[in-house]
A and B are shown apart, each in its own frame.
Chain A
């Protein structure tokens, strides 16, 4: 650290940051790791493999990660359109719409889950016409995706919105003066500039989705092998005092999420090096929030 740095407070700021990170993030997460790896652990390597190898557990992992990925991808597309609309067009009640975006942040997730479940249930407002058309949403994996889109959408909108605001519209005008079509402008100008932020939004929506519990359990139906998510399994194991099993699932989830988010971060770093400019914050690392 440069001693002549004109910005004061480096040491207290660093100290505070480390303390905060340690208390809130590192200690809880590493406890999970050390508890599992400790010699007196209830969990042996073989035991761990048995738990993870269980077919029901593997199905739950598939459901959790696939639903979260799919929901994040859909939220990305929807969120981009919403952010685009809010930034580029002047709408009558724009501020109102803008405020509404954040509601899923504030709403207790259980409330969201119950509302979504009753809406999409076979006799619900949306569920009924869908059922008539032959789609079953509530109490299937599709229901999980719906709940996760709801939860993930504000993350995507809030990360893409500021980048679109900053995006210089004269770049698009310049492109069209050189003969580029609207699609070419999107593909070659807008998309590459928004991509890093979109990736962050995607990662946040995904991370939140993987750990989501409250809103999912009401709409998922929680059928083993079909629509059971890992956080639910963890709770179930805890309720049965199967601490070793719960820890094994939690640890695996932590590792897989970490690996996925690390990949996204590396992609962003490579992108950033190309333009040597900060376009978006790095993707977050997940914590499970039952």
Chain B
């Protein structure tokens, strides 16, 4: 089911939670709403669900205006950050809940409920837990049960609020991929909220970036990573070196192979992996000193000190594969030349 949001705004007192959001989500997508905490992403999710009312704007689900419809009439499934499982019911009864509260005419009989609940438990691979209570489950198990419960009513949209937020790192990693594969099988339009850019890039096929209630950019993960629309997105997604454009630095950038065409920008953003390192003996303005390096598994992160504005050192980071770094045979304090392969800059606001 496609989702269209038209000019959604929401304020809480003096605080602008959402500022004129326009967004279109095609059917079957898995979309991440990404942003730092307090940026309005959860509020937007709750407005789509009908748990919160927008001050102005429209919510269209499948082309129908549902702005003033109750959550019950929207055909959505909602998974809460802290699961919101019914603690006084077994896992089975939790999942069966949505079926049992249907109007009598639409309510499936006991055998059908039984079949459906066990099918969902199979789907989330937790059939053996059907008669446990939520308090007896681990975080990851609870989250999967919450998902199965939301799916029981066959929602046309699945909304997940920080679905991995309360889980520990290793469980989170597993569940991310699991969710992505589940989405491939079910193909139900899904939106999840996260503040973790890595999670958004890994799981979603579209990412929408928010900041301070504004929609900053939307696109596929690679679009957003390779062509950030503005400074905020560039800083928020992935690592980046921010070089401010004083006279000194423009000279340095030129020597490092980067010529800035419009000089409207105040700063240049360079991804660590877009920075090549060449061993050097000369003392040109483009040289930097190798300070330290850290192993990040397959990659090495290199800390470089270059001369800053008034002679004080400025730290920039470079990244390269392990093997490549070994071949350079560098040691601490070595002087290196830098070559910038790619960078972006933005018109000054």
A178-B101, A178-B152, A181-B101 known; A170-B72 Cβ under 8 A = no
Chain B residue at minimum C-beta to C-beta distance from A176: B71
- The one of B80, B84, B97, B136 that contacts A180, using a Cβ cutoff of 8 Å: B97
CB of B88 within 8 A of CB of A174, answer no
Chain B residue at minimum C-beta to C-beta distance from A178: B98
CB of A193 within 8 A of CB of B88, answer yes
- The one of B85, B102, B150 that contacts A177, using a Cβ cutoff of 8 Å: B150
B86 within 8 A of A: yes
* Interface residues on chain B, number (Cβ under 8 Å): 27
A171-B86, A173-B51, A178-B153 known; A276-B72 Cβ under 8 A = no
A175 within 8 A of B: yes
The count of A-to-B residue pairs whose CB atoms sit within 8 angstroms is: 73
Complex Cα spacing A277 to B136, Å: 10
- Annotate B3-39 by CB proximity to A: 1 below 8 A, 0 otherwise: 0000000000000000000000000000000000000
B169 to chain A, nearest CB (A): 24
* Interface residues on chain A, number (Cβ under 8 Å): 21
A176-B72, A178-B101, A181-B72 known; A274-B49 Cβ under 8 A = no
A174 to chain B, nearest CB (A): 4
- Annotate B56-96 by CB proximity to A: 1 below 8 A, 0 otherwise: 00000000000000111000111010101111100000000
- Annotate B262-273 by CB proximity to A: 1 below 8 A, 0 otherwise: 000000000000
- Annotate A183-205 by CB proximity to B: 1 below 8 A, 0 otherwise: 01000110011000000000000
Complex Cα spacing A257 to B342, Å: 83
CB of B88 within 8 A of CB of A178, answer no
> Which residues of the other chain, B, contact A178 by a CB distance below 8 angstroms?
77, 97-98, 101, 149-150, 152-153
A10 to chain B, nearest CB (A): 27
A239 within 8 A of B: no
CB of A276 within 8 A of CB of B98, answer no
CB of B78 within 8 A of CB of A275, answer no
A193 to chain B, nearest CB (A): 6
B139 to chain A, nearest CB (A): 15
CB of A174 within 8 A of CB of B87, answer no
- The one of A181, A184, A274 that contacts B88, using a Cβ cutoff of 8 Å: A274
> Which residues of the other chain, B, contact A132 by a CB distance below 8 angstroms?
none
> Which residues of the other chain, B, contact A180 by a CB distance below 8 angstroms?
72, 97-98, 101
Complex Cα spacing A184 to B80, Å: 20
Interface residue ranges of B133-187 to A (CB < 8 Å): 133, 135-136, 146, 149-150, 152-153
A179 within 8 A of B: yes
> Which residues of the other chain, B, contact A40 by a CB distance below 8 angstroms?
none
CB of A192 within 8 A of CB of B88, answer yes
- The one of B85, B97, B135 that contacts A188, using a Cβ cutoff of 8 Å: B97
A174-B84, A177-B150 known; A276-B77 Cβ under 8 A = no
A92 to chain B, nearest CB (A): 17
CB of A171 within 8 A of CB of B102, answer no
Chain A residue at minimum C-beta to C-beta distance from B75: A179
Complex Cα spacing A173 to B149, Å: 13
CB of A193 within 8 A of CB of B101, answer no
> Which residues of the other chain, A, contact B49 by a CB distance below 8 angstroms?
177
> Which residues of the other chain, A, contact B153 by a CB distance below 8 angstroms?
178-179
A179-B153, A275-B133 known; A173-B84 Cβ under 8 A = yes
- A residues near B (Cβ < 8 Å) are 168, 170-171, 173-181, 184, 188-189, 192-193, 274-277
Q: List 15 A-B contacts (CB under 8 A).
A: A170-B80, A170-B82, A171-B85, A171-B87, A174-B84, A176-B71, A176-B72, A177-B71, A178-B150, A179-B101, A180-B97, A184-B101, A188-B101, A275-B133, A276-B136
Given contacts A174-B146, A178-B77, A275-B88, 13 further A-B pairs with CB under 8 A are: A170-B80, A170-B84, A174-B80, A174-B150, A177-B71, A177-B76, A178-B152, A178-B153, A179-B101, A179-B102, A180-B98, A188-B101, A274-B133
